[in-house]
Chain A
């Protein structure tokens, strides 16, 4: 089915998220929606998927304008959004999740899973999706969960699939497999739309591209109508330059030291970070990174060992006291530990530091963060995820820090914003802060760090130079050198 957006506009209060945008999505094609954080990509998807009503403009199906376009209308028309965060029940099997909310029942109300299972298996064969329907979701890999999510909308009759940043947390290999699957769907006549901020994916896999910039359409057409550089400039402005760490003074004093620090899942015998040094922590997610940050910040209590800041033990100090001593922390889980939803940007910028000359400090932080619009009175929900991340970072980087522990600082934010964040980290190091950088973006780690350590099952299994080749780093992350 052909689905067009005609002059769609969406306002949230005073904020224009999408401004007079028209796009045409043709069946049989993969259309990429490209843009930086806050460009309006997710908003466009929500309007097309009927998740939110447009302020003005309309959705046109096969040439017929639809006056009403609710979630139910979209589903009736086979238009489904596949979300970045899956809505699956972990304790249910794949099949149970497929049935949930749409249970096939026979006479007397008994559950009849058989026809659904047959249909699901046929769909899997056609679309090239491999999902073990009998396995519990909690035992599935992220990739398998995503395939189940896609299978669910296909079984419900999806002919138009709108993917919201499906590859945000995926490796390159997983992403390629996902795009191959999308191609089969498109070849079968489906309309496939993908929101992403990975330019290389767009060039490699999409047929058509829509570029959004600050809520407006900057370009729409075939992928091959523009060069890669042109697309990048359209979406992001001028290309961001690579960031390098400042030169390291090997005689600088130790600013952050972990001494036999032990928690439930981590055990770090000794780690010293000098002033001005950036130490990258690599590792597959879930190998103790989160607890390490919690232990250093004072959010959870160590089972043993000490954290020293400028040679002084932080033993017995809570989060606020450690912060006052010159420690900055940015947690990986922005939704849980970063922002307070429902509060204003101002309150989020000043969280934990209310009082004093607040208005001026909040304004300065907001300006330094580069988040837009620079309006502290707006609710934080009015900002895109990337802009929220900038606000969280601005809170930590506001002052001169002895040490900064920062986890996943650029996860889910666009290239220009990420480069900006890395520049701010490098500048903090230049100013003399010791930085412990935990990231799953290996390019970022290699680019920014003076040296790398690798965490595997809570232990430091390797210490490597940042220019180590990727294969060796990968082996260490999988624990190969632990033996």
Chain B
């Protein structure tokens, strides 16, 4: 069958995406060709657009890596969303109180706050899983809701400026924008956090291949019973995987709060965690796969923003879903038994 050949599947998948795009844009009363060229121009056609794509891809790549490390151990972390938003709050709160510190102290402290809070929030679900067998999908969803409720409460009572945001992060605790390096990216939100986006998946991959704990994660995932019977500390590995996943979700928050906005405000990271799950699944946990998936999703999001005036956001969301399905179909590996 032709459909079983990889390149044939890729062509079919691309055709499905284009067709869906055409239909959606037609339905919105636009010409697909014009919309396509405007979307491309706005995302990849200008230096500013590229900068925006890089900014979005930075968060997505790290969030994708966060999802992947738990997934490797057989855990499905739906809680990236809550871990991310609490970590973003923490980096904003801590960052705003670091006016006294030099940059080499302020920046690590703000990042550490985000990573610690993200990890701690995930550790709750990890503990419930290891100690009571409570499924992490359920507990992380509940913890997402809890985070949604806790954040406005905290902002209103002491941690924020009394409204919906924290104070401004001290300049010393911010991550420099890329626009300070090249004038072409002026106004773009991309920051040096992009380095983290490249390094995180690569370092994580290295850890998963080389270290004992990392390799055992990949064995615990498919067969926890065999691992337990062989004396692998399964509970400890599961706990570490989910906690590390949350900590990386915390790292994701830094690009947004410390690299772009300079403060945290309510709802600022909404959707990044869920998009990170898609990136993690598309990228199959491999470093280059995660980067490619992050760039793809980032470009789609940016193009969607550009077209927002003429094509409703819901339409680009539908397209986003279709793209994920199409990539999943095209990338399916041959069943080798």
Contacts and interface: CB of A to CB of B under 8 A. Distances in A.
B223 A299 contact: no
A69 interface: no
Given A339-B223, A340-B223, A341-B222, A347 B215 contact: yes
Contacts of B232: 320, 351-352
A318 interface: yes
B225 interface: yes
Nearest to A13: B336
Interface string B205-238: 0000000100110110011011111111100000
Nearest to B221: A342
A353 B232 CA distance: 8
Interface in A46-64: 52
A381 interface: yes
A340 B228 CA distance: 11
Contact of A343 (B222, B228, B337): B222
A340 B231 contact: no
B225 A336 contact: yes
Nearest to B234: A319
B230 A395 contact: yes
A354 interface: yes
A290 to B, nearest CB: 12
Contacts, number: 62
Contacts of A299: 228-229
A322 B231 CA distance: 9
B222 A319 contact: no
Nearest to A329: B229
A424 B14 CA distance: 57
B226 A351 contact: yes
A342 B219 CA distance: 8
B229 A347 contact: no
Interface string B311-326: 0000000000000000
Contact of B222 (A52, A331, A337, A340): A340
A12 B336 CA distance: 8
A381 B222 CA distance: 13
Nearest to B214: A354
A351 B219 CA distance: 8
Main SS at interface, chain B: helix
Contact of B229 (A319, A341, A354): A319
A456 interface: no
A354 B222 contact: no
B304 to A, nearest CB: 37
A65 B223 CA distance: 42
A352 B237 CA distance: 12
Contacts of B225: 336-337
A36 to B, nearest CB: 21
Contact of B231 (A13, A318, A338, A339): A318
B231 A337 contact: no
Contacts of A351: 219, 226-227, 230, 232
B215 A320 contact: no
B231 to A, nearest CB: 3
A183 interface: no
Contacts of A342: 222-223
A307 to B, nearest CB: 16
Contact of A352 (B222, B230, B336, B337): B230
Contacts of B219: 340, 343, 347, 351
Contacts of A341: 222-223
A355 B232 CA distance: 12
A336 to B, nearest CB: 5
A323 interface: yes
Nearest to A298: B231
A139 B228 CA distance: 31
Nearest to B231: A320
A337 B223 CA distance: 8
Interface string A316-334: 0011101100000101000
A162 B218 CA distance: 37
B324 to A, nearest CB: 24
A315 B161 CA distance: 56
B57 to A, nearest CB: 30
A352 B215 contact: no
Interface string B82-118: 0000000000000000000000000000000000000
A329 B230 CA distance: 9
Contacts of A355: 212
Nearest to A396: B230
B229 A331 contact: yes
A395 B229 CA distance: 12
A136 B22 CA distance: 53
A297 interface: yes
A337 B229 contact: yes
Contacts of B233: 318, 320
A352 B212 contact: no
B2 to A, nearest CB: 13
Interface of B: 212, 215-216, 218-219, 222-223, 225-233, 336-337
Given A320-B231, A336-B226, A337-B229, 20 more contacts: A12-B336, A52-B337, A297-B229, A319-B229, A319-B230, A329-B229, A336-B223, A336-B225, A337-B226, A340-B222, A340-B226, A341-B222, A342-B222, A343-B219, A347-B215, A351-B232, A352-B232, A353-B230, A355-B212, A395-B230
6 contacts: A12-B336, A318-B231, A331-B229, A339-B226, A340-B219, A343-B222
